[in-house]
Amino acid sequence: SQTIHQWPATLVQPVGSPLSLECTVEGTSNPNLYWYRQAAGRGLQLLFYSVGIGQISSEVPQNLSASRPQDRQFILSSKKLLLSDSGFYLCAWSPNRDSMVLFGEGSRLTVL
Amino acid sequence: TQLLEQSPQFLSIQEGENLTVYCNSSSVFSSLQWYRQEPGEGPVLLVTVVTGGEVKKLKRLTFQFGDARKDSSLHITAAQPGDTGLYLCVGEAGANNLFFGTGTRLTVIP
């Protein structure tokens, strides 16, 4: 069966520090991968999606970047965190573009 | 992330019929959101409810938040093929603490 893991689950970082959230999917190959963010009281916002290694599409301009160094690994990064980067970040995957998106457990980021 | 229990998991109905999807939990939520997700796309926010007993209408869709803010329902009147998709409830319990529903896959047959 397929599983998705992301870590860390909780992160508290000072303003200006770097960020790295990692996500891996097991039990499948060449998945579509996504990063979402939900800020408190707001809806899910798609940040990045990837259809293959090294292929990243950004949905919104922001202080964050994403990379896909391996087929089943998706990384969300920032060189310098802002207060507004605080939120709940979700990694997700789908087998192909015609399938539903399945979510990881999420990472809570607090920037102080 | 804990799950909200959604029912039914699958629903196939004829165009013009009415339906209700339920979302239940033992947890109290500060807000609850309903999303619709279509194949190959991310979830699209339909509504956010924040007050116990609140009812919101979006055209043919009616959303209700339970008085105790532990459950919610989505009612669709006169379903159309365009309503086909995965409906997902997401409860928020405190800042950045989300609970995802198990999802209801709706198919409306023309």
Per residue in B6-15, pLDDT (tens digit) is 899 889 999 9
pLDDT bucket at B5, cuts 50 / 70 / 90: confident
Tell me the pLDDT tens digit for each residue of A15-36: 999 999 999 999 988 998 989 8
Task: State which residue of chain B sits closest to A34, comparing Cα positions.
Answer: B42
Confidence (pLDDT) at A111: 94
- Nearest residue of A to residue B91 by CA position? A41
Chain B residues with CB-CB distance to A99 below 8 A: 39-40
Neighbours of B18 (CB within 10 A): 11
Q: Give the list of residues 6+ apart from residue B47 with CB closer than 8 angstroms, or none.
A: B33, B34, B56, B58, B61, B63
Condensed to tens digits (0 to 9), the pLDDT of residues B19-78 reads: 999 999 988 998 898 988 776 566 788 998 999 999 999 999 999 999 999 999 999 999
Cβ B95–A100 below 8 Å, yes or no?
A: no
pLDDT tens for A70-107 read 999 999 999 999 998 988 899 988 876 555 667 888 89
Say what the pLDDT of residue A25 is. Answer: 94
Residue B77 to residues A98, B8, B89: CA-CA distances in angstroms? 27, 17, 19
d(CA B28, CA B60): 27
Flag whether pLDDT at B1 surpasses 50. Answer: no
Give yes or no for a contact between B70 and B24, defined as CB atoms under 8 angstroms apart: yes
Cross-chain Cβ contact A88/B42 below 8 Å: no
Tell me which residue in A41, A101, A109 faces B42 most closely, judged by beta carbons: A101
**B95/A14 Cα distance (integer angstroms):** 18
- pLDDT tens, A36-70? 887 655 667 778 888 889 888 887 767 899 999 99
Whether A106 sits inside 8 A of B40 (CB atoms) is no
Query: Number of A:B CB contacts under 8 A?
Result: 54
| Inter-chain touch B48–A43, beta carbons under 8 Å | yes
Using an 8 Å CB-CB cutoff, list chain A residues near B33.
43
pLDDT score at B110: 95
Contact A99 B31 (CB under 8 A): no
DSSP secondary structure string for all residues of A41-87 = TS-EEEEEEEEETTEEEESS--S-EEEEEETTEEEEEESS--GGG-E
Q: Which residue of A has its CA nearest to B85?
A: A100
Give the closest residue to B46 by CA, choosing from B14, B83, B13. B83
Residue B2 pLDDT greater than 60, yes or no? no
pLDDT at A37: 87
